[in-house]
Amino acid sequence: MVLQLIVLADIHSDLRFLPAIGEKLIAADVILIAGDITHFGGRTGARQVVEELRIYNREILAVPGNCDGVDVERFLIAEGISLQGRRVDMQDVTFGGVCHGLDCAKVVREDKSARDGYELAESLFRDARQAVLVTHQPAYGTKVDLTHGHHAGSRETRALIERLEPILAVSGHIHEAAGTDRLGKTVLVNPGPLCRGCYANVELSDDGVYVKLCRANK
């Protein structure tokens, strides 16, 4: 099993760097987007981003972020690329995303409790051989949630990762905390914001998870 992923986050509707990473996008098996696709840009903004990305690669899986409203989420669902509360299997890997119900997405939808988020995630990954979790907010208390010397991630995301033990957990949100870390068996990746040219190349294989953090020039 070998899967090549491009991990994007915090696009904020800024697509200046896309041409510079076009070849990487074309070569990927799937593009994961960990939220903040738009900057309060709604459905129109989300459509622009997704259509531009699809020029390079049509395999896209995404969760919304706190700068994306419910209309962005609805667009992702209608296009069949939403990972929120949904699983997609590729080879031996199960991709799933949870934001609602975790504190990472109170802005997106406030009517879900954390308990719903946990239950949803557990049902998503039932019988998964190798799980990849996509959330917007990173796990609390790690290298990928550090901002100005303090941790600003989600305790609920962290608890979920500790419970599910995915092979990979990708997130964004803390723009200045691009990096990787480990939480138990899980490799954590915050690629950094694409609006500043940041992205990550991740290879999943039987040998493990290999992460390369990259930065494009305009």
* Contacts of Zn ion in 66-95 (CB under 5 A): 66
Separation CA 202–CA 37 (nearest Å): 20
Q: Cβ neighbours of residue 53 under 8 Å, at least 6 residues apart?
A: 18, 25, 31, 60
Q: Which of 6, 10, 108, 191 binds Zn ion (CB under 5 A)?
A: 10
Task: Give the nearer residue to Zn ion in terms of CB position, either 40 or 210.
Answer: 40
Task: Give the nearer residue to Zn ion in terms of CB position, either 151 or 173.
Answer: 173
Buried b (16+ CB within 10 A) or exposed e, 58-68: ebbbbbbbbbb
- By rule CB under 5 A, what count of residues binds Zn ion? 5
> Bridge partners of 5?
30, 202
- What does the per-residue mask of binding to Zn ion show for 152-191, with x meaning CB under 5 A? ---------------------x------------------
- Work out how close the CB of 210 gets to Zn ion at its nearest, in angstroms, rounded to a whole number: 25
Q: Where are the alpha helices (DSSP H) in 86-151?
A: 114-124
Task: Give the nearer residue to Zn ion in terms of CB position, either 9 or 61.
Answer: 9
Task: Give the nearer residue to Zn ion in terms of CB position, either 64 or 96.
Answer: 64
Task: Give the nearer residue to Zn ion in terms of CB position, either 112 or 173.
Answer: 173
From the list 167, 168, 169, 171, the residue with the least C-alpha distance to 153 is 171
- What does the per-residue mask of binding to Zn ion show for 51-70, with x meaning CB under 5 A? --------------xx----
Q: Cβ neighbours of residue 162 under 8 Å, at least 6 residues apart?
A: 183, 184
> Is residue 151 close enough to count as binding Zn ion by CB under 5 A?
no
Tokens representing residue 18 in the block = 């896309």
Task: Give the nearer residue to Zn ion in terms of CB position, either 9 or 93.
Answer: 9
Q: Of 28-36, 48-56, 73-81, 139-147, which segment contacts Zn ion by CB under 5 A?
A: 28-36
CB atoms within 10 A of CB 87: 18
> Is residue 36 close enough to count as binding Zn ion by CB under 5 A?
yes
- Work out how close the CB of 42 gets to Zn ion at its nearest, in angstroms, rounded to a whole number: 16
From the list 4, 13, 31, 33, the residue with the least C-alpha distance to 135 is 33
- Which residues here bind Zn ion, judged by CB under 5 A? 10, 36, 65-66, 173
